[in-house]
Amino acid sequence: MKKTARTIVVVIATLALCFAAVACGGQDLPTPPVKYTVTYALGGGTGTVPTETDKEAGAKFALASGDGLTKENHTFRSEEHTSELQSLRSI
């Protein structure tokens, strides 16, 4: 009688574990956020380009300063490119 009771308990416990495993296996794991690398290029100029950390998709951040960057016969004025940057942000 004790052996039968023990067998029943083992079977019930095994079935419970199987149901729990199936129930947990049906859930989707969270997807890690998409990240983008932000880089700056001299484009023929001179100086040390700023660095940025990776940014999550949709994150807002301030563009790095162009202080110390030069290019012969060019003037750096970031406000001239505000509309271009706003249109690029939606890409």
Higher pLDDT, 90 or 10: 10
Q: What is the pLDDT of residues 35-67, one digit of tens each?
A: 999 898 888 889 998 898 999 988 888 888 888
3 state SS of 55: strand
**Residue 54 contacts residue 38 (beta carbons within 8 Å):** yes
Select from 74, 56, 76, 72 the least CA-distant residue to 64. Answer: 76
What pTM was computed for the model? Answer: 0.48
From CA 80, how far away is CA 72, in angstroms rounded? 18
